[in-house]
Structure 1
Amino acid sequence: MTVDSPTLQRAVAELERLLPADRVITGGPEYATGTALWNGAVASRPAILLRCTSTAEVRAGVRTAREFGLPLSVRSGGHDWAGRALSDDGLTLDLTPMCSVHIDVGARRATVAGGARANHVLAAADRYGLVAATGTIGTVGMAGLTLGGGYGPLGGRFGLAADNLTSAEVVLADGSVVRTDDEHEPDLFWALRGGGGNFGVVTSMEIRLHAVPTVVTGTVLYSLRQAPKVLARLEDVLSDCPDALTVQTGVINGPQGKPMVTLRPTWSGEPVVGTDPAGPVQRLTRLGTAAVAEFETGSFAAATAARDTMFPDGRYVTIRARSLPRHTPEVVDALVQGAKAMTSPLSAFSLHHFHGAAARVPWSDTAFALRKPHMMAEVIAVWTPEKDSGRHAAWADATSAALEPHAFAGGYANLLGPEATDQIPYVYGGNTARLLAIKGTVDPDGVFQGIPLPKTAPQALSHR
C-alpha cells in the first residue's frame, strides 16, 4: 500500500498534536536505530515510527493509523526474521521503551511490559531464584515469543511460554483497552496463546514464574558422519526423557569449519542429577565418539544470555520451519544432505524438543494446536551481505522440501514466512475456525497482521 504524502503529513501532524513531538519519528539517527532489526536483510521501512512509552500512546497510534488508512505494525524485540515488525510505508508502534518487568515473588508472577525482551524478564526473575519459560535466545521480544507459542529449554517441565501467560492488557483495533484472562474476555485470552499479534497490541502481560535457581546446560558435538548412529540412539534417550530435560539438537559448523551434529541439553531438575555421570544429561556424551562435551551449572538467565552471541544482529537471514515427529532415518538423511549442501558457514539447523508438560496440554485449550511430542526444526540460512543472496534462500527451500514428506502438516507460525502457503492453512488444525471467528469479532478489518493466519479452516485437521 502506498500512502500519499499529504495523508502522511496530516497523520504526523495529528500524532504531534496528541503526543510529545519526540515520540513521532520520520528520519534521523533515532529512526535508523528504531528500524534496525535482527535480520539485516529486511528492507521494509515505515513512514512513521512511533516510540511508545505508555498504553495511552499506543492507543493514539492505533487510532491515528485507522483514521488515515495507514498500514500498522508493532515492533517489540524486532527478532521476527520475516520483518513483520515494520509496516512498509505505514506506521510502526515501537514498544521498545516499554520494557519494565515487575516481579511478585510471593505469587511467582511477573508483570512484563510489551517491549521487554526475554533477557529483561530472566534477569529480573533471577534475583529471586526464579525463571520464566522463554525461548532459546534472550534478545527475542517476550510478547511476540509468548503470543506465538514459545518453544524453549524449559518446555518439558513448564510448557510453552504461551502456557504460562495468565493475563494481558490489550489495545484493540478500535483503540479500546481490555484486560483479558480466563474469566475476562476468555475467547481473546484463548486466541492470544498461540494466535500471535493478530488481535491487538499487548501492552502488558502477566506470566508465571518457577523456582529454578540453577540449571545444567551444555554442548555435545559429534562428527556429521556419526549423525545416523547418534540421533538413532538419541531417540532411545528421548523416549523416556524426564520433563526436566530438554535436548535441542541440530547441525552447526564446528571448530574445524565442518558441519557437526550438536546436542544442547538443559536440565532444570536437581543439579546433582544433571551432573551425575550415570544421569540422563551425561548419557548424551555416550551416543558416539564426542568431539566436544562441555557442561556448566548456573542460572538459566546467564545460560540464555550466553547463547545470544550465536546469532548476532545485522546478518542476513531466512528461515524455514517444519515440525517433525522424530529423528527418523529419513529425517536424519535429509539433515545430513542439507548440511553437506550448505551455502554459508553461518547457516545451521536447530531442532527444538517438544515434550513433557507442553505435550500434555489438550490441543483445544489454547490456540496453539500441535500438542503431540515432536521436534520443531528450523532451517536457518545466515549470510553476510553479498550480491548472490538467492542461493542461500534456495538452499533453505530445498532442505525444507526434503523434510516435508516426514513432517506434520502446518508448522510453527512464529517462524513461517508469507511464502509458506503449503503450511499456513494447517498451522492451527482443529482450532482454526474458532481462531478466525475471534479475529472477525475483535479485528474485522484486519488491522493487525502478526503471524500467518489461515484464510479458512482446513478440511483435514492434522493436529487433532
Structure 2
Amino acid sequence: MTIVSASGVDTVVRALRPRLGERLLLPDDAGFGGARRVWNAAVTHRPALIARCRDTAEVAAAVRAARDAGLPLSVRAGGHDWAGRAVRDGGLVVDLTGLRGAAADPVARTVTVEGGATTADLLAAAAPHGLVTATGVVGSVGVAGLSTVGGYGPLVGRFGLALDNLLGAEVVLADGSTVTAGPDGDPELWWALRGGGGNFGVVTRLRFRLHELPAVLAGMLLFPAAQGRAVLSGYAGIVAAAPDDLTVMTGFLPGPDGPMAFLCPFWSGADLAAGARAVDALRALGRPVVDQVGTMPYAAALRMFDASIVDGNHYLLRSRWLADLSPAAADALVAGAAELTSPFSTLIVNRFHGAAARVDPAATAFANRVPHQVVEVIAAWPAQDTAERHRAWADSVVAALDPVALPGGYPNLLGPGDDTRARDAYGGNLDRLLAAKRRYDPDNVFSAIPALLD
C-alpha cells in the first residue's frame, strides 16, 4: 500500500475543488467506489483522489496539481489494462471517462475522438459513412491506450496497426502544457507516442485515418479440443501464405463441456468469393461444431467478443511473441488447454502480417515489424476462488513457449514485472525512446509499461 501524504491530498483538493466541484472524488464520497473499479475485479487499488475531467484544460490542471503536491499520477480511459495501472494506489487518477466524444469527417476520411473514447465510440461515428479504422477486438477498450502502444486487431493485415492510422494527437505534458503531436507538429513526440504509449503525457484528443469498408466476412468456427492440434497446425500453414485481406485468430475458448479450439477469420477484401474460399479452407481443418461465419458490418463483428469479459471475474494475463506457430508452440498451447484450471480461461493467438509488417521499423517507436504471432494466456476465475493455481497455470504455459519465443513482447499485454521484456520489444528504437522520455518527462510523472525511467 502506497503511503499517502495528507498534505499532498489537501494541496490537490485546494487546487482542483473550485474547478471540478463534486467531480473531484475522495474515498469517502459516494461515487468513489464505482469510479475506482475496472473490468478486472482482481484489481483492488485505492487511489487517494479521482479527478473526473471534462476537457483538456481540466486535465492540465489535474496534472499540475498532482505534480505540485508530489502525488503519484495515473490516467484512466478505457481502464482495460489487466494489471490496473489506470488506478494507481495512493495517487491521483486523471479520469477521462467523461471525454468520449467522436466525430467523423467522411470527406477527409478522418475521425477525431476525445481521450476517453472507446473503440465502440469511434466506430459508431464512422460506421454511418461505411468507414472504419484499424482497432482491437473489444469495443469497450480505450482508443488512446490501444493506439499509442500498438493496436493489434482484425484489420492489421489490410490497414496496419491502430497506431499506423493515427494522424495526430493532443497531449498534456508533465508540466501541464498542451501540445499537438503530428507530422507537422512536434515530430519527435509524434514518433515516440506511436509505440511508447502513456510514458509522455495524457492524450486528450486523437485523429485517425478512415478506410472504406462497408462489411467484413467474419465469424467463429469452434472445434472439439481433440482436434486442436490439427487446427493449429493447419492454421499455421494457411496464415503463412494469407493475403492482406485475411487475418485469423486462433487458440482455445471456453465451451459447455470444456475448452474448444477456435478459428476466427476476418476477410476485409472486396472479393467476397475469395473470402468464402479462404473460410472454407479453415473450416476443412477439422469438423466444426459451431460454424457462424457471415457478412456483417465491422462493428457488429466485434460484438462477438463482448461476452469474453465476465463482470466480477478476476483476470491475470501472460503473453509471448512467436515468429510463427511452430509445432513446439502448438504443443504448448494444446497442453495448456488440457490443463486449464478454470472454465473461464482462454488461450488466444493473434496474427501480425501484411500492411503492418511493411512499415519501416524506425518510422515509429513500435519496432517489431516482421510477421509474427502474439499469444495471450488469459487466466480468469470467479472472485470467491484463490489466484495461486490459476497463476501457476498461466506461468506454466508461457514457460513452455519460452524456448521458441522472440525477445520482447507486446507492452500492452505485459505485467508490472515485465519491464525488461517490454524494453526488449523496442529493439533498435529503445535508445531514441529513452531520449524522448528524458526530454518530455524527465521526472517520470507518467510511468507506464515499460517503465522507461527508474
TM-score of the two chains, using structure 2 as the length reference: 0.97
SS of 2:31 mapped into structure 1: helix
The 5 Å alignment of 1:52-451 reads 52-255=53-256, 257-270=257-270, 272-273=272-273, 276=276, 279-421=277-419, 423-451=421-449
Shift of 1:292: 2.1
Structure 2 unaligned residues grouped into runs of 5+: none
Cα offset for 1:176?
0.5
Q: One-letter code of the match for 2:347? A: F
Give the match's secondary structure for 2:199. Answer: coil
The one-letter amino acid of 1:52's match is: C
Equivalence for 1:462: none
Whole-Å separation in 2 of the counterparts to 1:454 and 1:10:
28
For structure 1, which segment, 134-143 or 303-312, has the greater mean C-alpha deviation from structure 2 after superposition? Answer: 303-312
Determine if contact 1:215/1:271 at 8 Å carries over to the other structure. no
C-alpha separation in 2, matches of 1:233 and 1:428: 31
1:461 corresponds in structure 2 to: none
CA contact 1:249–1:264 (8 Å) conserved in 2: yes
Q: One-letter code of the match for 2:80? A: H
Q: After TM superposition, which residue ranges in structure 1, 4 or more long, deviate above 6 angstroms?
A: none
Residue pairs, 1:30-45, within 5 angstroms: 30-45=31-46
Native 8 Å contact 1:75 1:95 kept in 2: yes
CA distance in 2 between counterparts of 1:215 and 1:316 reads: 33
Query: Structure 2 counterpart of 1:344, which letter?
Result: S
CA shift, 1:431, in A, is 0.5
Q: Deviations over 1:336-370 (max 9, x none)?
A: 11111111010001111110001111111111111
1:20 equivalenced with 2:37 (yes/no): no
- Aligned residue identity for 2:21: A
SS in 1 for 2:248: strand
Give distance in 2, aligned partners of 1:162 and 1:146.
Answer: 5
Give the match's secondary structure for 2:129.
Answer: coil
Contact 2:418/2:450, CA 8 A, preserved across alignment: no
Q: Could you report, residue by residue, the CA deviation over 1:127-153 in whole angstroms, capped at 9, with x for unpaired residues?
A: 110112110111100000001100000
Q: Which moved more, 1:236-245 or 1:66-75?
A: 236-245
The verdict on how the C-alpha distance between 1:77 and 1:102 changes in structure 2, with shifts beyond 3 A counting, is: same
Rounded to whole Å, the distance in 1 between the matches of 2:320 and 2:413 is 9
SS at match of 1:312: coil
Judge which range, 88-97 or 263-272, deviates more: 263-272
Q: Deviations over 1:373-417 (max 9, x none)?
A: 111000000111124211111111111111111111110000100
Equivalent residues, number: 452
Cα distance, 1:271 vs structure 2 = 5.8
> CA offsets, 1:202-225, max 9 Å, x none?
000101111000011111122222
Counterpart of 1:96, as a letter, is T
SS in 1 for 2:278: coil
**Are the counterparts in 1 of residues 269 and 275 from structure 2 also a CA contact under 8 Å?**
no
Deviation at 1:230, TM superposition (A): 2.2
| Secondary structure at 1:386 match in 2 | coil
Q: What is the identity, as a one-letter code, of the residue corresponding to 1:312?
A: V
Structure 1 residues 454 and 170: CA distance shift in structure 2, 3 A: closer
- Once the two structures are superposed, residues 259-282 of structure 1 have per-residue CA deviations (whole angstroms, 9 ceiling, x without a partner) of 221100111112632663xx1122
Rounded Cα–Cα distance in structure 1 between residues aligned with 2:314 and 2:385: 12
- Is the CA contact (8 Å cut-off) linking 1:245 and 1:281 kept in structure 2? no
Letter in 2 for 1:104: D
Q: Distance in 2 between matches of 1:224 and 1:328?
A: 18
Q: Partners in 1 of 2:237 and 2:385 — Cα distance? A: 45
Structure 2 CA distance for aligned equivalents of residues 147 and 425 of structure 1 = 15
CA distance in 2, matches of 1:168, 1:425: 23
Following superposition, the deviation at residue 76 of structure 1 comes to 0.1
**1:77, 1:349 → 2: CA distance?**
23
**Structure 1 contact 271–297 (Cα < 8 Å) conserved:** no
CA distances 1:167-204 after superposition (whole Å, capped 9, x unpaired)? 00000000001011012111100111111111000000
Q: How far does residue 6 in structure 1 lie from its aligned partner after superposition?
A: 2.9
More off after superposition, 216-225 vs 120-129: 216-225
Structure 1 counterpart of 2:229, which letter?
Answer: P
Residues 130 and 213 in structure 2, CA contact (< 8 A), matched pair in contact too? yes
Measured in 2, the distance between the counterparts of 1:363 and 1:442 equals 22
Instruction: For residue 15 of structure 1, report the CA deviation from its aligned partner.
Output: 1.0
Q: Distance in 2 between matches of 1:455 and 1:176?
A: 21
Mapped partners of 1:422, 1:50: distance in 2: 32
Shift of 1:32: 1.9
SS, match of residue 304 in structure 2: helix
Match for 1:41: what amino acid?
A
Matching residue's letter, 1:57 = E
